Structure 1
């Protein structure tokens, strides 16, 4: 367990609606499956051949085609394999509201046979970071609390500066890929017909769709000049105004520093 101080800190930093510890209770619609193999710490293959991408978390990337593994990618995969061996390679699978990604993988919240959340376990161990992809936010508050304990203890990925405090928006390393945590000052706020744009120093634009504004409790115009920490997928995009873009559709992906 973690202290009331950690919970209070999360409440103060959040740009989302008030955080409740929530619960990761097994839903009635969950189905018990056998697991064939672990692909990495956020992707599995079931015995029936279906690949499953875990909702709400992102793991460091394993190296392919001559690339090196990202730190803790191999350790996270091995820890998940050991956990599944311990429970006989069985998991409860609960499909998300959006049940399939663009690669055809099933999007699901997973549970161990004793009904404990697999995502929460991975977050508590520091093998993965939380991500927020609507509409699959059913356990977002529960996952946030699980991650907070690993962050406080500097477990796994949270022992790395790239995660805590994150990458400076002015010093993004060449070759950065996948989900990241960045921090930087808001130097400009722009608007278009479909989006609000928070432009960070260093040429990073946070794209917030207008149709997602109901998931942000704080007025975005109040963030001018503030330093933020943002998490999401970093997309290279050379334009007149910025070199990088991160799309954010939930206020829990932003923290005011």
Structure 2
């Protein structure tokens, strides 16, 4: 219904302007008298053209590649596609080199934020631990999974099948290694 009103308003205004021009009227006065209407119509057109994007508040950062968001009133664990950061919370493993730094960076960038999630049909919806598989976008639009790889906080990780951003993530890891960022820096993991 709203879309029809906006379309009708746009068509009506176009007709008024064309009529004013064709019949010798003062187009400027017509535009001035309808400027408020046109501003509202433009805003409504923009609202219709921009689909709503669902964002989810981060309720907990587990480590560098796992977090929990609030979704439909429930806490849902999310495992980031294409990223593997060194372990910090697996009770079967010791804390791995650069794991604390990766977790700290994830907490710094995600805690208290509302993020956008993107699923990837090639990966399925959930992993074997029941975690939702997704790409995470920060409020500024940064693809968090790729950022963590590019800054040397983790590795590109292909679990089973190629995924949507695999080439980009692999290239980001190559750059991080070449530039010796994060865990790739000389001596970053010397003591472990």
TM-score interval, normalised by the smaller of the two chains: 0.5 to 0.7
TM-score of the aligned structures, taking structure 1 as reference length: 0.47
Q: Which is further off, 125-134 or 151-160?
A: 151-160
Task: Spell out the pairing of 1:1-257 with structure 2 (5 A cutoff).
Answer: 31-47=54-70, 48-65=74-91, 68-85=94-111, 88-97=112-121, 98-135=124-161, 137-159=163-185
* CA-to-aligned-CA distance 1:87-116 (integer Å, 9 cap, x gap): x41111112211111111101011111221
Q: Secondary structure at the match of 2:118?
A: strand
* CA-to-aligned-CA distance 1:208-240 (integer Å, 9 cap, x gap): xxxxxxxxxxxxxxxxxxxxxxxxxxxxxxxxx
Cα distance, 1:134 vs structure 2: 4.3
Cα distance, 1:29 vs structure 2: 9.8
Give the unaligned 5+ runs of structure 1.
1-27, 164-257
For residue 21 of structure 2, what is the aligned residue in structure 1?
Answer: none
CA distance in 2, matches of 1:160, 1:130: 19
Larger radius of gyration: 2
After TM superposition, what 4+ stretches of structure 1 lie above 4 angstroms from structure 2?
63-67
Cα distance, 1:63 vs structure 2: 5.0
CA distance in 2, matches of 1:71, 1:30: 36
Query: CA-atom RMSD, angstroms?
Result: 2.6
How many residues align? The count is 134
Q: Which has the higher helix share?
A: 2
Contact 2:63 2:89 in 1 (8 A): no
Contact 1:126 1:157 in 2 (8 A): yes
* CA-to-aligned-CA distance 1:33-67 (integer Å, 9 cap, x gap): 11011101000011231100000011111155485
Contact 1:55 1:136 in 2 (8 A): no
CA distance in 2, matches of 1:159, 1:138: 28
Give the unaligned 5+ runs of structure 2.
1-50
Cα distance, 1:68 vs structure 2: 3.2
CA distance in 2, matches of 1:92, 1:136: 22
Cα distance, 1:30 vs structure 2: 6.4
CA distance in 1, matches of 2:105, 2:113: 13
Q: Secondary structure at the match of 1:68?
A: coil
